Amino acid sequence: MKIRILRQFLFPLMDSKSVRSDFPIYTHTPNLVYLDSTATTLKPQVVIDEIDRYYSTYSANVFRGIYEISEEATAEYEKAREVVASFIGAVDTSEVIFTRNTTESLNVIAYGLGRQICDVKSEIVVSMAEHHSNFVPWQQLASESGGTFKVVEVNSDGIVPLHEKKTAEQIITKNTKIVALFYASNVLGSVNPIKEIVKTIKSINPDTIVVVDAAQAVSSVPIQVNDLGCDFLAFSGHKALGPTGIGVLWGKRALLEQMYPFQYGGEMISEVTVQGTKFAPLPHKFEAGTPHIAGAIGLSAALKYIQKLGLGTIKKHTQKITEYTLELLRENPRITVLGPEDSAKRIGIVSFVHKKIHPHDLSQILAKHNVCIRAGHHCAMPLHRSMGVIASARASFYIYTTKKDIDTFIDAINDAEKILL
């Protein structure tokens, strides 16, 4: 009881009432306890408004018209690219490619570059904790090329220890073509020291391509791609308060120019003749067909909203929420928390296993309390198998998560135990 009173006293970091008023879903569902932000974040009104403004006032295709609303659509679409570039510290906006999501971004790399550079001698490295989107494409590439697929276990803090020179020297060789790693784990919440990992890998083999899946990190961790030193970075808009169906692939210009296009069609063409085709320069080489114009514009509004709040403020809030959640869950002897013990080593994700209740049963009962969590393997089956669990329950938090949400979550777990045990 004393701990809970102390937490309540220390807790106010953000004006939760003010922040939640920015999210119309709480007006429609005032009792909603949304603890599934890792799957997708809620959308603030400013994002919805910008999408609506596009469809309502200048809903035209980009690049193709010399009339006013088409030119406005084109301008707003390219402004969105500039906003994304600034958000991730990319100096060259043409290195920012719009895709559908992180999954497509990673597949673009595997298809467009991986199939050029990998052969039977090649080694491709991933971690055991990767999301299937950053595991399966590389696994399949290794299988198709006849190369070697290496999987690195994470340590007790849930990070890939490739920043340690001794460990890296056992994994990275002159034949290592690609290393693909998460920035933040969608199960463990752990955050990889990407800059140090890249530096260590490049010191052993400067030609190794390092790919970063930043889907979970982009809304919580400040990213400066040129400072990180990685070759590619990918994320999804809907994980960062933006709409679904829009993603980002950032890559170094020289590598993007070397890559094959992932799709062929309109707007990625410079010239077509019967004899052959010349592709458009970056970034349009990779954006065939009509893009998700509204999605890009909505993503721009979302990133501006995050910048206005400040990633530092967001991090402090989610870290306090995470710390409070961990403390309460650990009071229950039947619950085992996965991932780092220290909340400071996590983003706002807490996955756990109940010794007596299956995650799906727990999730179903929590849903009756309007508590939304995720249950299953979270597209990370190899990680769960390596930990010896079939599935886990996952609660994840963001700027709109409150202490009251967590109290309701814990009460719902207690109710599930009364019903099922």
Report which secondary-structure segment, H or E, holds 16.
Answer: helix 16-20
**Angstrom distance (rounded) from CA 184 to CA 322:** 15
Q: CB-based contacts of 147: which residues, under 8 Å, 6+ apart? A: 118, 119, 120, 121, 122, 123, 124, 141, 177
| Radius of gyration of the chain from its Cα atoms, rounded to whole angstroms | 22
- Mark whether 379 is an active-site residue: yes
Which of 228, 225, 275, 269 minimizes the C-alpha distance to 250? 225
| Side chain identity, residue 220 | S
| Side chain identity, residue 383 | L
On whether the CB atoms of residues 115 and 141 are closer than 8 A, the answer is yes
The conformational region for residue 267 under phi > 0 = left, psi -120 to 50 = alpha, else beta, is left
On whether the CB atoms of residues 110 and 164 are closer than 8 A, the answer is no
On whether the CB atoms of residues 33 and 24 are closer than 8 A, the answer is no
| Residue 195 φ/ψ, nearest 5 degrees | -60, -45
On whether the CB atoms of residues 94 and 252 are closer than 8 A, the answer is no
Give the tokens for residue 375: 């249950």
| Residue 36 φ/ψ, nearest 5 degrees | -135, 40
Which of 284, 282, 190, 179 minimizes the C-alpha distance to 232? 179
Dihedral angle of Cα 47, 49, 54, 56, to the nearest 10 degrees? 160
Query: What are the residues facing 75 on neighbouring strands?
Result: none
Longest CA–CA separation in the chain, Å: 78
How far is residue 46 from each of residues 14, 27, 80, measured CA to CA in Å? Answer: 19, 15, 14
Q: Which of 118, 230, 372, 379 is catalytic?
A: 379
Q: How many Cα atoms are found within 13 Å in the side-chain-facing hemisphere of 95?
A: 19
Q: What does the chain come to in residues?
A: 421
User: Collapsing DSSP states into helix, strand and coil, what is residue 183?
Assistant: coil
Give the catalytic positions in this structure.
Answer: 379
